Structure 1
């Protein structure tokens, strides 16, 4: 089981429109002025607002959400990086030194392209991922979760990709991600997670997958039911086997990951039965059973980020 923590914090460049000013400490902002600070949008609710860091004083600043270009790497905003009107593609360039994985979730568009470059600009590798090729023709719950990714039988359908992993060369210096517009649909990237995968052990057979429904269902005294449909969240509980000598390191990795949105990836070199169990989520619970001096069995409960 690989835990992929977000290492993409900012972009070298992007072609997306950024209409808001960057917050500057020495600037006095008039009331209702919007600025961007740490990839989030804030509006000042007082006049001559100067020297007050937006994320530290809610009495002077009002948080309005994440900037469009950074929505894909925020992982907490439940929003997507969406293509601007008039553009034919989204283009995001960022530093990726020592990356070995790049994961995407909730992607819709034409073709997603990942370009890897050395520090001098030399192209290492480029690969295209046609959109609309994941979770197509899934006729039952088993296929829905275990269908190989990508399922090329649905190529070109334009349906959003739920999750996809790109393996990155360790010598990569920068990555450019491009997503072309689909003629019939809006182009957007729901989430993008890049970094170095951390291994905590091998997933055992018998993963428990569930769904939590957040829809509101009420029935009044006359038997009339009102249903307000809302999102659902996937859960996953799995047993992970780790050599006993490495369990302390695995515990530190999990502890550092608590409270963060991660991409969870079963390592295809070790967990071939579960190589398609990939989820953007957070750790709900982790506990370990040290049943002998050779191996340790851990129970890991995950919940999906909506």
Structure 2
């Protein structure tokens, strides 16, 4: 198999000013009101911060959640904004269909939807204010058979893609980008990211290692009973890309720039498992030959 060129997407930070429209409401809980009293454990939303907060005390009156850490604790983003909070395990949920229209204000080459659940199709449209619709592409996310026998065709389980990546968007800095995801009643998406793709290396060498780190609780009590509590997991990978001599400096500088920033790392288009959304734990370049160098790259996915 020919080695695959390594691609890296550094996501844009999506701000409220970039959101043009969406069908996802911010109605997770009631909006916080200054004159209302809240019991311990009560939850509210602050739409100005797009956050959900939980009361830490009884008779909680007149304390704005964002500035009162003794009275309120931040739970997380609202359902509308979970897709843009950089966490893969927090998911924006909708029944059957969700849509976002964004105006990034700069050219975007790549869009990715990660940790998809119950999704059947994804559509991306790019509309330029002068040229109109310049890009419209739909990807079918229907489930596929693990093995192809007649029994499996009619009765066997099907696996659905957990991610969808568009890497061919036209450069249109002033354009609106509309992202539609269709699915069933349990439709959810963990991350929607937009960014420009950087390509490095002559390819990731064979022998790449992939796996997960499971944060579930797996213990035995004093009676020998097994206690299992399912929790999130994170992907991990060890790759060995081969770098051309001319790109070594650019590669090292790029990794230094993203040293504490989550990126989308794509080691191969053949395996979904060779895509990791997260950070690099370590890397080391060996100047092994005159024309090219080897690299050891360790990646840690985000939960």
TM-score (norm 1): 0.75
Q: Within 1, Cα distance between the matches of 2:258 and 2:13?
A: 16
Aligned: 1:180 with 2:177: no
Structure 2 residue aligned with 1:106? 115
Secondary structure of 1:279 counterpart:
strand
Q: Within 2, Cα distance between the matches of 1:210 and 1:40?
A: 33
The range that moved more, 288-297 or 192-201, is 288-297
Unaligned runs of 5+ in 2: 1-5, 39-43, 148-152
Q: Judging changes above 3 Å, is the alpha-carbon distance between structure 1 residues 260 and 235 closer, same or farther for their aligned structure 2 residues? A: same
Q: How far apart are residue 5 of structure 1 and its match? A: 1.8
Structure 1 residue aligned with 2:100? 92
Secondary structure of 1:283 counterpart:
strand
| From 270, 279, 282, the counterpart of 1:282 | 279
Query: What do residues 168-210 of structure 1 show as CA deviations (whole Å, max 9, x unaligned)?
Result: 112362210112342xx32222221110012332322221122
Q: How far apart are residue 228 of structure 1 and its match? A: 0.6
Query: CA-atom RMSD, angstroms?
Result: 3.3
Q: Is the 8 A contact 2:263 2:277 kept in 1?
A: yes
Q: Is the 8 A contact 1:215 1:227 kept in 2?
A: no
Q: Within 1, Cα distance between the matches of 2:212 and 2:131?
A: 45
Q: Is the 8 A contact 2:34 2:63 kept in 1?
A: yes
Unaligned runs of 5+ in 1: 140-152
Structure 2 residue aligned with 1:132? 142
Q: Is the 8 A contact 1:109 1:158 kept in 2?
A: no
Q: Is the 8 A contact 2:268 2:274 kept in 1?
A: no
Secondary structure of 1:187 counterpart:
strand
Structure 1 residue aligned with 2:21? 13
Q: Is the 8 A contact 1:72 1:79 kept in 2?
A: yes
Secondary structure of 1:186 counterpart:
strand
Structure 2 residue aligned with 1:66? 77
Q: Within 1, Cα distance between the matches of 2:272 and 2:183?
A: 29
Q: How far apart are residue 243 of structure 1 and its match? A: 2.4
Q: Within 1, Cα distance between the matches of 2:133 and 2:71?
A: 46
Q: Within 1, Cα distance between the matches of 2:247 and 2:68?
A: 43
Q: Within 2, Cα distance between the matches of 1:119 and 1:21?
A: 37
Structure 1 residue aligned with 2:163? 163
Q: How far apart are residue 16 of structure 1 and its match? A: 1.2
Structure 1 residue aligned with 2:41? none
Q: Within 1, Cα distance between the matches of 2:289 and 2:130?
A: 51
Q: Within 2, Cα distance between the matches of 1:76 and 1:254?
A: 21
Q: How far apart are residue 82 of structure 1 and its match? A: 0.8
TM-score (norm 2): 0.75
Structure 2 residue aligned with 1:118? 128
Q: Is the 8 A contact 1:35 1:43 kept in 2?
A: no
Q: Is the 8 A contact 2:236 2:300 kept in 1?
A: yes
Q: Judging changes above 3 Å, is the alpha-carbon distance between structure 1 residues 9 and 236 closer, same or farther for their aligned structure 2 residues? A: same
